[in-house]
Amino acid sequence: MNIARVRELIQDAALKGAKLVVLPEMWNCPYSDDFSKFSEDFIDEKASPSFTMLSEVALSQGITVVGGSIPERCGDKLYNTCCIFGSDGKLIAKHRKLHLFDVDIPGDLYFKESDSYMPGDETTIVDTDVGRIGIGTCHDMCFPELAMLYGSRGARLICYPSAFNMSTGEALWELLQRARAVDNQLFVATCSPARNSSGSYMFWGHSTLVGPFGEIIATAGSEESIVIAEIDYSMIHLRRQSLPLATQRRDDVYQFVDLKLNA
Ligand SMILES: NC(=O)CCC(=O)C(=O)O
């Protein structure tokens, strides 16, 4: 059901002119602790309806697809995995979520993604028809090191398929995107599932595109929608010229120790 609907939405976005489409985290299943029921083994095409649909629609529409994330089954392990397809329908890369979302806010939200998933152990940067893109999945956005690494390797856009919630969404969602964009003077695009009224994990929504000065270029509300926006990469050059953070950086004085904030 979701798969057919998502295919339609991607086709619709392409018809409206999109050259790159980004989907939300875990779009083919509920965000609960029963991910394995919806998992796909990408090696077996017949057992991978979500994976196959993404590849087909990227090819038929001639667009790049950052395919949100789906539960990937690999042997007896599960990963929260984002597949990126080129306009030829071929898989360019897959990003296994690095930082799993384990949260315990007493009386509010408890969720332990690490009960279901293994973390990935590779960063993901891809060259596409629409430029060099760094990939992170949702909670990966909380870690500035990852975004900084992508920026230093020439990414001009970071895409974070996500599924923030009502507890952290209001305080952190927009702030994190704008911070990652400003820190690295590049574009950040996020995509979230629309707000759901059932289920214990309620989505925040508000898919957004942020520019290299932290400006919100386009954003959705909490309801289902397609956000179409243009990315003008020349803005990166302009911002970096006006405010040359890269040359002002003082790597000679920063020294990191193994900081355990919660020790
Ligand atoms: N699915 C997630 O990774 C949610 C991340 C989140 O809400 C956060 O605050 O971080």
How far is ligand 1, taken at its centre, from the CA of residue 233, in Å? 28
Flag whether 119 is in a domain.
yes
Flag whether 262 is in a domain.
no
Among 72, 82, 83, 97, the active-site one is 97
In tens digits, the chain (263 residues) has pLDDT values of 699 999 999 999 999 999 999 999 999 999 987 899 999 998 877 779 999 999 999 999 999 999 999 999 999 999 999 999 999 999 999 999 999 999 999 999 999 999 999 999 999 999 999 999 999 999 999 999 999 999 999 999 999 999 999 999 999 999 999 999 999 999 999 999 999 877 789 999 999 999 999 999 999 999 999 999 999 999 999 999 999 999 999 999 998 887 676 65
Residues 6+ apart with CB under 8 A from 161: 22, 23, 24, 25, 27, 66, 67, 68, 69, 82, 137, 138, 190, 191
Flag whether 254 is in a domain.
no
CATH number (domain holding residue 61)? 3.60.110.10
Task: Report residues whose beta carbon is within 6 angstroms of any ligand 1 atom.
Answer: 25, 101, 138-139, 142, 163-165, 168, 172
Which run of H or of E encompasses 124? strand 124-128
Which run of H or of E encompasses 208? strand 208-210
Flag whether 238 is in a domain.
yes
- How far apart, in whole angstroms, are the C-alpha atoms of residue 57 and residue 42? 16
**What residue owns the CA closest to ligand 1's atom 4?**
164
CB 35 within 8 A of CB 29: yes
Flag whether 161 is in a domain.
yes
Flag whether 36 is in a domain.
yes
Range of the domain at 170: 2-248
- How far apart, in whole angstroms, are the C-alpha atoms of residue 101 and residue 201? 13
What ipTM describes this predicted complex? Answer: 0.98
The total domain count for the chain is: 1
Flag whether 260 is in a domain.
no
Flag whether 259 is in a domain.
no
